[in-house]
Amino acid sequence: MSILALRNIAKCFGGNAILKGVSLEAEEGEFIALVGPSGCGKSTLLRIMAGLDHADGGEIVISGREVSSVAAADRNVAMVFQSYALYPHLTAGQNVAVPLAMRRLTAVQRFPFIGNLLPGQRQIRADIQRQVKEMAAALKIDHLLDRKPGQMSGGQRQRVALARAMVRHPSVFLMDEPLSNLDANLRVHARGEIVELHRRAGVPTLYVTHDQSEALSMADRVAVMIGGTLLQLAPPQEIYDDPAHIDVARFLGQPRINVVETRMDASGVVRFGALTLAVENSAPRDAAVMLGVRPEFVRLNGNPNGTLKARVERTEFLGSEVIVHTRLDAIGEAIVAKVTPVEASVLSDGMPVSVEIEPDRAMLFAMTGERLQARTVAVAPTLEKAHG
Amino acid sequence: MSAHSLSLGRILRFAILTLGALIFLAPYIFMISTAGKAQSEIFSSSLTLIPEQWSYVENFTKALSRVSMLTLLLNGVIVCAMIFVVQVVVAIPCAYAMAKLKFRAARLMMVLVMLGLLVPIHATALPLYVAFDRLAVLNSYTALVAPFSISVFAIFLFLQFFRALPDDLIQAARLDGMSEIGIVARVVVPNAWPAITAFAIFSVVAHWNDLFWPLVVVSNQDYATPPLGLLFFRAAEAGDDYGALMAATLIITLPLVAAFLIAQKRFVEGITMTGLKG
């Protein structure tokens, strides 16, 4: 049974639909990354799950309980904020202890001065302290417990925020871009740590990020949200190799996927360069379609008789690979290729090249954005004229 | 460098500042001087700053013995403390709600606060007086404190400050299981000390020095605040013993001066209100 389920969540802000019926389920111990460009509604969705915001419609089920009308504190979800939101007036240790104290001690026991005199609270406080220490040891922040947030670095604050969220063993763990305030090196390091912590705790985690590499590298499944709609929820490899929507394909992958507009003929066949693809969906025939191919599946060679003639516009050297920007002579479309430095060494700006696309890697999309399933029929002889 | 530090511009600036300081301090200095002069010297034609004959002991004895100065000061402390505490207790939750909670009347409340800022106490003095008279609470601490218990200025000041508090902080507190009152007590107040200090200055100074309202509602010396006590003192002395009067004035201004000197750094911090670092 899924531990967290969202059904048809909708939210409007002043007539603007921010969330248009989002549904999502998380299994026990799963790590789901919610990724999308800024303003796509992913943070709003997270806040609705946490109970910090109200949905206009839809259901939220946590551990089999419908929680739409349950207060944030009673949902047993923990959240790590982008700004960490540590209490500035409390030390790290006190920060971590707050959620435990709020749950274990009664209002009277928490009352200053009087609370300390009541029976039973001493035992609970000692217990809380012990748990805080354990948590701190697990996150290697035991030496920071007496410091206030203002005296800590960004990375340290982030760990304290993690500790505060994890210490009470929530049933769902929500993270709102927890790494975006760290510098690049620390971010990559912290990624690994969060994944490790997640494995150990086994709490289902929803991780909001706008960084696709974070999403792909950390998550069991990636949910791509664009414009208030969840376009696809799939394991990282699948969502990258087999995107269900042109926007998903465009959002994931660096550099971006090449998209060229072309035509499907009346028999449902698309020809582009040396490629011939047969569409298997029942999409309208004889219509414009989009052909997408990721830069790593574009080959460039100096063959003057290639079907897709292009000119190199500029190259970007990135160390292990080189990004080559070319422009097709026939239709003026830009095509980006990712090649090895060895392959790139023979290329120079302005040089005519011929573009080849790996046949099984080309994807077709309808003009509305949906993916069209297609299979390669044949790779035509290279002398055939480019189709545009 | 030392040559530069005494450039013409700098000297000019110092001169202007010194002149300004002298103008502002002159009455107070003259008061200190008069408090040490004998009756005859005050009315002599020559104007001296240093008393020819030191009469401080004599004047202060008079000031302390003719009216019960201790009662006056105690009344001042009680009234100011009560006003300040009630104002803060009322204004902080109110400002928090207006700054961080969403409710339909928020806009209307904001308008009311703005309107409230425009209405001076003098405008409502008469109706309040009549009401207190009917309730038979004239000549009491209640009459001195009640009209100031809701300070729109405090609400406005705290509102501005709370708006700058990060929303994430409040939401984290909610997720940690705090009630709204808990958030105010455990998160907002501990982080609002700069604003509370700033407000304390305005409130205490205004009400310690207030003569108008005590004059309206208090006729019994037992409830007189320091400025009103001075008035009684003048009446008791037929208004011509200026040496003793100045000594009494000195006594009632001293607590504020001392408080300012002791907490000068915090005061300045409070007024400049350097924002909260998340």
- What is the structure's pLDDT at B59? 86
pLDDT one digit per residue (tens) for chain B, 278 residues: 455 567 888 999 999 999 999 999 999 998 998 888 888 888 877 777 888 888 888 888 888 887 788 899 999 999 999 999 999 999 999 999 999 998 888 889 999 999 999 988 889 999 999 999 999 999 999 999 999 999 999 999 999 899 989 999 999 999 998 989 999 999 999 988 888 988 888 899 899 999 999 999 999 888 999 999 888 887 776 567 888 888 888 999 998 888 888 877 776 766 665 444 43
- What gap in Å lies between CA B58 and CA B36, rounded to an integer? 8
- What is the structure's pLDDT at A382? 46
- What gap in Å lies between CA B34 and CA B40, rounded to an integer? 11
- Please name the member of A50, A88, A164 whose beta carbon is closest to the beta carbon of B278: A88
CA distance B198 to chain A (A): 19
Q: Which residues of A touch B185 (CB under 8 A)?
A: none
The pLDDT tens digits for A280-309 are: 877 778 888 999 999 999 988 887 777 888
Q: Which residues of B touch A71 (CB under 8 A)?
A: 174
The pLDDT tens digits for A263-284 are: 888 888 888 887 888 888 777 7
- Please name the member of A51, A83, A89 whose beta carbon is closest to the beta carbon of B168: A83
- What is the structure's pLDDT at A241? 93
Q: Which residues of B touch A111 (CB under 8 A)?
A: none
Q: Which residue of B has its CA nearest to A97?
A: B176
CA distance A75 to chain B (A): 9
Dihedrals phi, psi of B193, to nearest 5 degrees: -55, -40
| Confidence band for A117, pLDDT divided at 50, 70 and 90 | confident
- What is the structure's pLDDT at B269? 67
Q: Which residues of B touch A73 (CB under 8 A)?
A: 174-178
> How many of the other CB atoms lie within 10 Å of CB of A43?
19
In chain B, the domains with their CATH numbers are 2-63 (no CATH), 70-239+251-272 (1.10.3720.10)
B48 in contact with chain A, both atoms CB, cutoff 8 A: no
A99 in contact with chain B, both atoms CB, cutoff 8 A: yes
- What is the structure's pLDDT at A387? 45
The pLDDT tens digits for A327-368 are: 998 888 899 999 999 988 888 888 889 998 888 888 999 999
B191 in contact with chain A, both atoms CB, cutoff 8 A: yes
- What is the structure's pLDDT at B276? 45
Q: Which residues of A touch B187 (CB under 8 A)?
A: 87
- What is the structure's pLDDT at B4? 57
Q: What is the ipTM of this complex?
A: 0.81
- What is the structure's pLDDT at B245? 86
Mutate to test the interface with B, among A46, A70, A91, A102 (most CBs of B within 10 A): A102
Mutate to test the interface with A, among B161, B167, B176 (most CBs of A within 10 A): B176
What lies within 8 Å, CB to CB, of B1 at 6+ separation is none
- Please name the member of B178, B182, B191 whose beta carbon is closest to the beta carbon of A88: B191
> How many of the other CB atoms lie within 10 Å of CB of B161?
23
Mutate to test the interface with A, among B175, B180, B188 (most CBs of A within 10 A): B175
Quote the distance between the C-alpha of residue B196 and its chain's center. Answer: 13
Q: Which residue of A has its CA nearest to B174?
A: A73
Q: Which residues of A touch B182 (CB under 8 A)?
A: 102
Mutate to test the interface with B, among A49, A81, A166 (most CBs of B within 10 A): A81
Q: What is the sign of the dihedral through the CA atoms of B9, B14, B15 and B16?
A: positive
Q: Is the pLDDT of residue A385 over 60?
A: no
Strand pairing report for A205-209 and A172-176: parallel
- What gap in Å lies between CA B210 and CA B215, rounded to an integer? 9
B278 in contact with chain A, both atoms CB, cutoff 8 A: yes
Cα-only R_g, chain B: 24
Q: Which residues of A touch B195 (CB under 8 A)?
A: none
Mutate to test the interface with B, among A83, A96, A175 (most CBs of B within 10 A): A83
Q: Which residues of A touch B166 (CB under 8 A)?
A: 83, 85
Q: Which residues of B touch A87 (CB under 8 A)?
A: 169, 172-173, 186-187, 190
- Please name the member of B172, B177, B187 whose beta carbon is closest to the beta carbon of A103: B177
Q: Which residue of A has its CA nearest to B191?
A: A89
| Confidence band for A379, pLDDT divided at 50, 70 and 90 | low
A98 in contact with chain B, both atoms CB, cutoff 8 A: yes
B81 in contact with chain A, both atoms CB, cutoff 8 A: no
Pairwise CB contact (< 8 Å): B172 & A81: yes
| Confidence band for A383, pLDDT divided at 50, 70 and 90 | very low
Percentage above 90 pLDDT, chain A? 50
- What gap in Å lies between CA A335 and CA A12, rounded to an integer? 38
* Cβ A327 vs Cβ A335: under 8 Å: yes
Tokens 């039973």, located at residue? A120
Mutate to test the interface with B, among A79, A91, A104, A151 (most CBs of B within 10 A): A79
The pLDDT tens digits for A201-255 are: 889 999 999 999 999 999 999 999 999 999 999 999 999 999 999 999 999 998 9
Type of residue found at B224: A
Return the closest-CA partner of residue A215 out of A336, A337, A85, A42: A42
Class of A255-379 in CATH: mainly beta
- What is the structure's pLDDT at A378? 64
- What gap in Å lies between CA A387 and CA B174, rounded to an integer? 60
Q: Is the pLDDT of residue A140 over 70?
A: yes
What lies within 8 Å, CB to CB, of A175 at 6+ separation is A79, A80, A194, A205, A206, A207, A208
Q: With a CB-CB cutoff of 8 Å, which residues 170-189 of chain B face chain A?
A: 171-178, 182, 186-187
Sequence length of chain B is 278
- What is the structure's pLDDT at A132? 93
Q: What is the mean pLDDT of chain A?
A: 88
- What is the structure's pLDDT at A259? 93
Using alpha carbons, list the distances in angstroms from residue A317 to A230, A299, A345. 35, 17, 10
Pairwise CB contact (< 8 Å): B172 & A85: yes
What lies within 8 Å, CB to CB, of A163 at 6+ separation is A92, A96, A132, A135, A136, A138, A139, A141
* Cβ B80 vs Cβ B145: under 8 Å: no
- What gap in Å lies between CA A108 and CA A130, rounded to an integer? 22
- What is the structure's pLDDT at B239? 60
- The upper half-sphere exposure of residue B274, i.e. CA atoms within 13 Å in the direction of its Cβ, equals 7
Q: Which residue of A has its CA nearest to B165?
A: A85
Pairwise CB contact (< 8 Å): B175 & A87: no
What lies within 8 Å, CB to CB, of B39 at 6+ separation is B240, B241, B242, B243
Dihedrals phi, psi of A313, to nearest 5 degrees: -95, -45
- What is the structure's pLDDT at A1? 59
Average pLDDT of A369-383? 72
DSSP secondary structure letters along A101-140: HHHHS-HHHHSTTTGGGSTTHHHHHHHHHHHHHHHHHHTT
Domain extent listing, chain A = 4-241, 255-379
Residue A43 is encoded by which pair of tokens? 């943070």
Q: Which residues of B touch A51 (CB under 8 A)?
A: 174-175
Domain range A4-241, its CATH number among 2.30.30.90, 3.40.50.300, 2.102.10.10, 3.40.50.2300: 3.40.50.300
- Please name the member of A50, A51, A83 whose beta carbon is closest to the beta carbon of B166: A83
CB pairs under 8 A between A and B: 63
Pairwise CB contact (< 8 Å): A85 & B171: yes
Strand pairing report for A287-293 and A298-301: unpaired
Give the 3-state secondary structure percentages of chain B, helix then strand then coil, rounded to 5.
75, 0, 25
What lies within 8 Å, CB to CB, of B14 at 6+ separation is none
